[in-house]
Structure 1
Amino acid sequence: MAAVEKFDYLIVGGGKGGKSLAMALGPAGKKVALVEEGQIGGTCINVACIPTKTMVASAKLLHHVNHGDQFGLSVKNGGEQIKGVIDRKRRVVKGMVDTHKLLFGSTPNMQFILGIAKFVDHKVVEVSTIDGGTRRLTADRIVINTGSAPMVPNTPGLAGAGYLTNASIMELEELPSHLCIVGGGYIALEFAQIFRRLGSDVSVLLRTDRFLPKEDEDIAAAIKEVLEKEGIRFVSGVDVTSVSRTGKIAKLALKKGDTEETLECSHILVATGRVSNNEKLHPEMTGVRLDKRGYIEVSEYLETSAEDIWAIGDCNGGPHFTHVSWDDYRILRDLFLHNIKRSTRGRLVPYTLFVDPELGRVGLTEQDARKAGREILIAKMPAAKVPRATTAGETRGVLKAVIDKNSKQILGCSIFAHEGGEIMSVVQAGMLGNLTYEQMRDAIWTHPTMAESLNLLLTNIVDG
């Protein structure tokens, strides 16, 4: 049996939070081991945020090329583009992976270990390394950053028929003739628009009758209208009861109430959510408690039930965003290096749905605020009223803000518009600074920019 190697800090998982923490602790003189199963740099740069947004950009450019007449141009695309899109995606990912290899190799006091980790005793991790060896590691403090994985439903016939996940769909080199997407969240919608723009027929299957139920109905309706106009078909309120395949044709048996039908397609993308990725690690072996979904239970300080063990990022069941993992890292960095104890309580977490146009959202929706009994004002206007949107030929969408009627502070916004994520971030900065909507409304924003939309939006109070 291998001898146990001792470190000051052991970080299991090299995603955004884990790698950032390791690269902060090493230069501070701490002896650090960072164990990663195989994706150097983490999920974000390999199979999530970066490659998907790279494909979004390619699909958007192709969309503009195909609609060049709207800009006074006569340009036509030259046929199927999927191989070039995937090649570009691979180049972008490789560049980031290579950068991370250099960063890891140059970080003092840090060992980067590729392999599969599992707890075998209290605070003892055994790593099966990629070269076939075994190492046993322990540390004064351990941080778990194992992320999440695609949730695949146990639908009869699905495994045999073959399916794609958010990772494998980005390795296709042949364009699906008809892509059927099971699920209706942000992963589903981003890939729906990407592949529709690349030339696939696309059907999206939703279990609920309501589209994007976490969004206000008017915002969800605006998004659905844009996607439907691009040719994406939505089938709502259905369960997939079985799947079969004959040659290149997959058949999905659908049930809605007492009605049954069959949908045929060439490829199936499963985008039904994410699940814990803690199964291989066996954190319970070291006293770490899991919730009923398999995520690690943590306090507001990211502490697990085991002393001197923390969990950050997706694996603790919080919002599955890279920027949340980044903030988790900052909380532990401040604790470990500066003895400053910060909490996750009250974090203002934004998110962006990277369809085109983007939906940027932060804070409360109108339905959230009314459910909470808040007295509110609603500001709302179509994106077509923004001069910059007109010059860019990007007039689709709607902008909306929820305002506290008494304090005049903005409680949240939903910006479905060209550069919606960027506009939302400006609003978020105002919320963090406790600015009133009137101060945001009366600020001087550069003309013509999308940020200028806030002058117009916050003048247009439509309810309250």
Structure 2
Amino acid sequence: MIQYDAIIIGSGQAGTPLSKYLAKKGLKTLLIEKRWVGGTCVNDGCTPTKTMVASAKTAWLINRSEEMGITTARTNVHMEAVIARQQEIVHKMRSGSEKGLKQTENLDLIYGEASFQGPKTVQIDLPDGTQQTVRAETIIINTGLEPHIPSISGLDQVAYLTNTSLLTLPTLPKQLLIVGSGYIGLEFGQMYQRFGSQVTLLERGPRILKKEDEDIAESLYSILKEEGVNIRLNTSLLSVEKSENGYMATVESEGQQSQIPFTHLLLASGRVPITKPLNLKTTGVHMDSKGYIPVDNSMQTNVPGIYALGDIKGGPAFTHVAYDDYRILTQVLFADQQLQGNHDILPYCMFTDPQLGRVGLNEQQAKEKGLNYKAVSLANTSVARAIETGDTRGMMKAIVDADTDLILGASMLGTEGGEVMSVVQMAMMGGLRWQQIAQSMLAHPTFSESLNNLFSQLED
């Protein structure tokens, strides 16, 4: 048994920087990784998907070039080249991160699957079939999430895809059926429709993006429908089976059953925590009913010395939240500070095209909280920069406190919506009132400049 000062299980966006930080502080540190360095973000999340989104947008821009006064042949998408470019970027980022870890003194990186043998003891199943046992007084869990595989009749007869396996598929699906209309389903749906697939997306509820305001969701729904994505609302997948030319899905919509042919099936119906392999019953660490590991403000579980960071602890599953967890834990361990992530001003972005940037509260959340608020919106058809660049899809929307005039949140659906959202986030962090943005001098012509027009509507 090898003794360490700290053991980190999982090299995601919290575990990787934390391992280097602890080692540089003089702690003998071990980082255990089952798969690849970088976690979901680098390997099958942010990096590869946004790389492919960029390729898909290039195809879309070429196909509408005549609208901009440019005549060119229609695009031909070469999926092998698209995947190769994406994989090259992923491998570059992964290998760079791995190199940095291996060059850090006091830090060991071991590939294998970790399972607890007690509160302070971890067994590692190594790739060669052997095992190694390690021990530390401080152990951090950063194992993240994995795709949820729903129970569907006939699924065992279909070579279904997840957001991970689709990233290395070298051929273009002729008919792609997607289950789920969350961020993963919508990003992949639009992406593959632009590449040339015939995409059908199934949503059990009455609309997409149930956590977003209805007008925002409706705007994006219209955008995707216009591009040809077949979105089936109030529709459940009952079964799948092989057919003469591929596969056939049986679905139910408002009590009526119908069939949808498909060649490829993407399961995008959520993600679940990776806790089962950890053997947490030997530690006394509590899990909730879904398998997440609750923590306190210091990121500690109910067992002293065992911490959980990132998606595995529940809450918003974003890379920047995981990195903020790392920042908080370093202050707890070395500065004796009880910090807490500020999720009241939580930013995030969905990279459909146009992007949806969100920060703080939206209108439906303000209603649920019973707040005295004002809502204001602006269609991008009234945004000068959008008109000039030829893309007026989407809208801007903000929520302000009617008593204090402080900004409670914003939803920016439009070109560079995430960047415009970040401007509002900075204003919220600085405690600015909506009048200060409405009356500020912003550079012309920019997308952010239209924040003047958005907030000035409250002056009426």
2:114 maps to: 117
CA-atom RMSD in angstroms:
1.4
1:26 maps to: 23
Contact 1:47/1:167 (<8 A) preserved:
yes
1:156 maps to: 153
> Does 191-200 or 66-75 show the bigger shift?
66-75
- The one-letter amino acid of 2:352's match is V
1:65 partnered with 2:62: yes
Percent of aligned positions that are identical: 38
1:225 partnered with 2:195: no
Contact 1:380/1:461 (<8 A) preserved:
no
In structure 2, do the counterparts of structure 1 residues 77 and 39 end up closer, same or farther at CA, with 3 Å as the change threshold?
farther
In structure 2, do the counterparts of structure 1 residues 280 and 137 end up closer, same or farther at CA, with 3 Å as the change threshold?
same
- The one-letter amino acid of 2:328's match is I
Q: Per-residue CA shift, 1:119-160, capped at 9, x if unaligned?
A: 112211001122333211111211000000000101111122
- The one-letter amino acid of 2:100's match is L
- How far has the Cα of 1:435 moved from its partner? 0.7
The correspondence of residues 53-92 of structure 1 with structure 2, limited to 5 A, is 53-92=50-89
1:324 to 321, 324, 331: 321
- How far has the Cα of 1:384 moved from its partner? 2.1
In structure 2, do the counterparts of structure 1 residues 346 and 213 end up closer, same or farther at CA, with 3 Å as the change threshold?
closer
Q: Per-residue CA shift, 1:334-393, capped at 9, x if unaligned?
A: 112222221236552211111000000111111111222211112211112222212222
Q: How far apart are the structure 1 equivalents of 2:450 and 2:330?
A: 37
Contact 1:250/1:264 (<8 A) preserved:
yes
2:355 to 351, 354, 358: 358
1:206 partnered with 2:203: yes
2:167 maps to: 170
- How far has the Cα of 1:460 moved from its partner? 2.1
1:269 to 266, 271, 279: 266
In structure 2, do the counterparts of structure 1 residues 17 and 126 end up closer, same or farther at CA, with 3 Å as the change threshold?
same
1:340 maps to: 337
Q: Per-residue CA shift, 1:73-98, capped at 9, x if unaligned?
A: 11224423211111110010011011
Contact 1:289/1:296 (<8 A) preserved:
yes
Q: How far apart are the structure 2 equivalents of 1:321 and 1:157?
A: 33
Q: How far apart are the structure 2 equivalents of 1:351 and 1:248?
A: 40
- The one-letter amino acid of 1:264's match is P
Q: How far apart are the structure 2 equivalents of 1:172 and 1:285?
A: 39
Q: How far apart are the structure 2 equivalents of 1:217 and 1:330?
A: 35
Q: How far apart are the structure 2 equivalents of 1:440 and 1:133?
A: 61
2:281 maps to: 284
- The one-letter amino acid of 1:324's match is V
Unaligned 5+ segments in structure 1 are none
Q: How far apart are the structure 2 equivalents of 1:113 and 1:41?
A: 14
In structure 2, do the counterparts of structure 1 residues 462 and 418 end up closer, same or farther at CA, with 3 Å as the change threshold?
farther
The size of the alignment, in residue pairs, is 460
1:94 partnered with 2:94: no
1:142 to 139, 142, 153: 139
Q: How far apart are the structure 1 equivalents of 2:255 and 2:459?
A: 42
Q: How far apart are the structure 1 equivalents of 2:263 and 2:241?
A: 11
2:293 maps to: 296
Contact 2:59/2:77 (<8 A) preserved:
no
1:437 maps to: 434
Q: How far apart are the structure 2 equivalents of 1:420 and 1:296?
A: 33
The SS at the match of 1:16 is coil
In structure 2, do the counterparts of structure 1 residues 81 and 462 end up closer, same or farther at CA, with 3 Å as the change threshold?
farther
Q: How far apart are the structure 2 equivalents of 1:203 and 1:462?
A: 44
- How far has the Cα of 1:210 moved from its partner? 2.2
Q: How far apart are the structure 1 equivalents of 2:245 and 2:123?
A: 43
- The one-letter amino acid of 1:161's match is V
1:389 partnered with 2:386: yes
Q: How far apart are the structure 2 equivalents of 1:144 and 1:134?
A: 19
Contact 1:300/1:345 (<8 A) preserved:
no
Question: Normalising by structure 1, what TM-score?
Answer: 0.96
1:450 maps to: 447
Runs of 4+ in 1 over 4 A off after TM superposition: none
- How far has the Cα of 1:462 moved from its partner? 9.4
1:37 maps to: 34
Contact 1:379/1:462 (<8 A) preserved:
no
> Does 118-127 or 251-260 show the bigger shift?
251-260
Contact 1:379/1:459 (<8 A) preserved:
no
Question: Normalising by structure 2, what TM-score?
Answer: 0.97
- The one-letter amino acid of 2:271's match is R
- The one-letter amino acid of 1:413's match is A
Contact 1:203/1:233 (<8 A) preserved:
yes
In structure 2, do the counterparts of structure 1 residues 242 and 407 end up closer, same or farther at CA, with 3 Å as the change threshold?
same
Q: How far apart are the structure 2 equivalents of 1:355 and 1:154?
A: 28
- The one-letter amino acid of 2:134's match is L
Q: How far apart are the structure 1 equivalents of 2:450 and 2:189?
A: 28
Q: How far apart are the structure 2 equivalents of 1:416 and 1:268?
A: 28
Unaligned 5+ segments in structure 2 are none
